[in-house]
Every structure is written in C-alpha cells, then in structure tokens.
Structure 1
C-alpha cells in the first residue's frame, strides 16, 4: 500500500484509542527436525488452512540437500520435483527468487538468514518455509500468489522494504504460524487490491496463529475477500498502527489473542477499502483498546488447539521465531 495507508492508520488509531497433525509428523521427520530441541510451550505441528486441500508436506521424504551460497539455494529451490533444502549462516540474494512446487526450505539453527531479497511462491503448490531470519529485503520477504498449500513457520522478519508476508491473487490453504515480526512496518497483507474480487472471493483462506507482532506497525493481517480467515493465539505487543483490519467482504475470526499496549487491536475497513466482517472472541487485553467488530464469519472447517488467551504471551514469546526447532 502507499504511505496514505500509514497516515490513515495513525488517524484511526488516535480516534479509536479511547474506545478502545499426523501428516506434520512425517514432514518433521523428512526435514530432520524431530530430534532438535524445542521450546516446551511451542508446537511444531501443522494446523489451520494449510492442512486442507490434501495437506502441505513440502519436499516430504526427499533426502535433504545442504546449500552454502545463493547459487546453491536458488538452483535447488527452482528445480523440479520434491526437494528438502537446508542451509545455515547468511545468504544474500537479490530481487524476488522463485520457489518451485514441492519444496521445503529450512534454516538450521538460530542464525540461518536470507538478506537483500525475498522468496516468490508463485503459481505453485505444496511449499514449506521454516526457521529463517529474513532481513533487509528490497520488495517482500515472502510473496505468495496463485499458490495453494503453503506453510510459513517459525521465521523472523525485520527491517525490510515492503511486506514481510504478502498473500494474494487467488492463493488458498495457507498457514502462517509461530513467526516474529519486529523493527518493521508492514507485516502480513492478505489480498492486494480492492478490485480483485473475481479472483479472490472464495479463496484467500489463511490461518495466522502464534505469531509475535513485536512493536511492528500494521497489517497483522490486513484482509481482503478471504472468509473465513482465522487469526488466533497471536501476541501483539506495542503495535504502533493497528492489529487486524477486515475489508472488502472478508470474514475474519479474531480468537484467543493477547493484545498488550495496542490502542487499535482490530477494526473494520482500512484506507479506502470498505468494511469487511470481523468476529472477536476470547481475546485478552492489557492496556489496549477494545476493537471494532461487525457482521458474520463463515465457520472454521478444521480442528485446532486453542490456548487460553491469558497464557498466549508466555507461550508465544517462548516459542515464536527462529532457533526454536
């Protein structure tokens, strides 16, 4: 979005402040994560929309390949066929680099970092991106478009140019879980344009859970058309602009989240975009506004584990981001 959104967000914040699972085990085994130490509170199982449509397994049981530089990373993630790609240390890329179908891209340890550019998941299916620090990207850190069955899990995002994770253009069946966003403005955009209803209505179904929005500013997420979009068990700390915005016929369930020092936790409409629908339940507020709700949201079709909202801060800060798996 343009800088106009940021201005509108600030006005909105100021004026509203006073109102204020079995398949996953196979994936873990295939990516050699099952034996790694984990924070006791964190879950590493796939939940949410990415379990639908046949499920998301990425590279599955393909033998892992370890890469050490940008050429190795790019050639492997653009190769045909199933592939599990592992790396450690820092890899610098330029621009938006395409990710082919049936890929798992996973950082090893706490220091695996992609800087300079981003990953473009476009017109493919079945992709997993995990345990990577994204820093200083010049467009989006992760862009998902015309793609289905995508899982973005246990990454961290800071100091980029545009969106951390943008999901748009008829994408569907996506889970964004256990990520940390800090030192950054635009976090998670869902649906890129008000006039793209013909492609997006009935799709853009995404689950956002156990993410840590750590002083980030806006789009946590900003939603167009997707219904139901499920935002649950996330921790919002000192969000500068707004938490969740539902626009353009979207239906968003905001459930079991923890909002701390966040004047505008959720609202309807954003910028020039018209109101969507938003239902909020069982959220926990500390020194935060009460949010704005309205309309109805389609039912959630999958099973999931909901942590008590009052426990979400400790659970998420103990388990989100890189180096946990």
Structure 2
C-alpha cells in the first residue's frame, strides 16, 4: 500500500510538472502587461487580451483569421507554422500566443483593428514573424491597450512593428528584432498630425540586433519611453525623435552604434529627447533637446543596471522564454 501511495504521489507530481510546462509552453505563464499598456484609461484598465473568453488552438491561416476577427474575447494559441500573404485583422479583446518556441507567422502579418472594428485590448506574445509581405505587426486605427511581448521579428518587407493612426497605450517588451532595416515606427507620417496627443508607447528589454534603423523612429508621440533595451551594431541609427515627439531614453546599452539618438531625421522636423543613464560602447554621442513628460505620471517602473543588458536581454528576449 505504501509503495502504491508513493507511486501515486510521484505520478501526481510528474503530471503537475508536465501541466505547468505545457501551460508555459502555450505562453500562458503568469504575467501582466506593464508600461503604458498597464494604464487605466479610455475605459480600459490595463491590457488583458482575451482572458475573459475561451482558449482555442489554431494551425491554419483561415482559423487564425476567423477567431482573430470575432467580436468576442478569445485566447488564440498558434501552433506550428502558419503561412499566408497580406494582413490578418485582429479585433478587440484577443490574446494571440505562440505554443512553445516554433509558432511562426510566415509571409503575412497582423493588423490590429480596422476603421470600423477597433483592435483594442490585444496581446501578441511568443510568435516568430518572418517574410512579411507588408508589416509584421501594425498597431493602427486608434487601437489602444496593446502588449507586444517576447516575439521574434525579421526579414519583412516594410516595418517589423508600426504603431500609428491615433493608437496609444502600447507596451513593446522583450522582443528580438533582427535581419531587417526598418524595425519599429511610431507615427504614420509628417503630415498626419491627427497623431498628436496619442502614441504613448513604452519600449523595454528589446534586442535590436544588427537592424539598421527605427528603434524606434517617432513622430508626435509624447511621451515615448525607451528604457533597458540593448542596441548592437545598428549601422544607420538607434532612436530618432521627430515632429515634436517627446522621447525619454534611459538606462539602455548601445554597442557599436555611431548615431545612437537623432533629434530630427531626414526631412522630418526635430523632436524632443531627454537621455539619462545610458551606456555608449564604441558609439557616438547622443543628441538631446527640450524636455519630456515623466512616464511615472502614468505608471511605475524599476530600471535594471544597463551594464547587465548585453547578457540579460539576448538571454531573455524572443520566443520560448515566457
């Protein structure tokens, strides 16, 4: 009897561990959005995604488009490689989460919201995006409360991650950007002044790994908070603040970045930048100008020692790590 009881106990422990591993592999590890995505505003208290609805697993583009476009909350687990062209529209109250470390969106991208169906309260985690025919992820059409976390983005056609057209309260965390030129844009264009007053975005613990530019490139957003990111071998520039954007750049690590921070870029007018506590290894001097609102007016945060980022960010960013 003792032997049977002991065996049953061992089996129970193994089952519990296996269940925990499976849950984490599905991207459902206990975690909540921080930064601007955590703010109580615009009728939404933080970013919860599809937590209020059922969980489904998808393996095809048709299934993904179906659940992503439904008008009720869903947690959508992506399993394996899904190949399609163009963009799938994601509407409000969705979590799209990769299973394990192999879930991939190949050839297409995700667009949060349309002009008639908003993409508010959306979470995208643990997915590899590759070979997008347009943007890999487009946060647009006044989407708010969006959390983009622990993804791998590379080899797209246009931007890997664009945030624009009155979108706001967005957090971009622990993503690996690589093998691409235009990484992440905030603000549609110099002439799209409707973005003024929106585009509140937090970037933290992202790995900008050899990408050329836009880490981010910001128009109008105020404030955009860029902290504890690791920049390595970015040949054009790190961050650009333009068109009166307000960007706070703090406690990041720049390695081999000749132009870590621009005030104004190309034909765009100058923005505002406050920088503090950054490390510039074999990198140029940052440009700064003006003042920027303190993000602590909206949320609290704790800075990591930037000297640790070349180790901790590559080890923690990307897929299979939540």
Please classify the TM superposition score into its range, dividing by the shorter chain length.
0.7 to 0.9
The CA distance in 2 between the partners of 1:159 and 1:74, in whole Å, is 22
Match of 1:113 in 2: 104
Match of 2:46 in 1: 55
The CA distance in 2 between the partners of 1:285 and 1:191, in whole Å, is 27
Q: Give aligned pairs, total.
A: 290
Q: Residue 75 of structure 2 aligns to a residue in which SS?
A: strand
Which of 267, 270, 275 is residue 270 of structure 2 equivalent to? 275
Matched, 1:174 2:161: no
Match of 2:10 in 1: none
Q: Runs of 5+ in structure 1 lacking a partner? A: 1-31, 38-42
1:111-150 equivalence runs, <5 A: 111-122=102-113, 123-145=118-140, 146-150=142-146
1:45, CA displacement in angstroms? 4.0
Match of 1:46 in 2: 33
Match of 1:8 in 2: none
Q: Residue 306 of structure 1 aligns to a residue in which SS?
A: coil
1:1-325 equivalence runs, <5 A: 36=24, 44-52=31-39, 53=41, 54-122=45-113, 123-145=118-140, 146-197=142-193, 199-300=194-295, 301=297, 302-325=299-322
Alignment check: 8 A CA contact 2:121 2:144 kept? yes
1:44, CA displacement in angstroms? 4.7
Q: Residue 50 of structure 1 aligns to a residue in which SS?
A: helix
Q: Residue 317 of structure 1 aligns to a residue in which SS?
A: helix
The CA distance in 1 between the partners of 2:92 and 2:85, in whole Å, is 21
Q: Runs of 5+ in structure 2 lacking a partner? A: 1-19
The CA distance in 1 between the partners of 2:250 and 2:22, in whole Å, is 29
The CA distance in 1 between the partners of 2:52 and 2:314, in whole Å, is 31
RMSD after superposition: 1.8
Q: Deviations over 1:148-204 (max 9, x none)?
A: 00000000111110001100011110001100011111000000111122x211110
Q: Output the TM-score relative to the length of structure 2.
A: 0.87
Q: Residue 169 of structure 1 aligns to a residue in which SS?
A: coil
Q: Output the TM-score relative to the length of structure 1.
A: 0.86
Q: Which runs of 4+ in 1 moved over 3 A?
A: 32-35
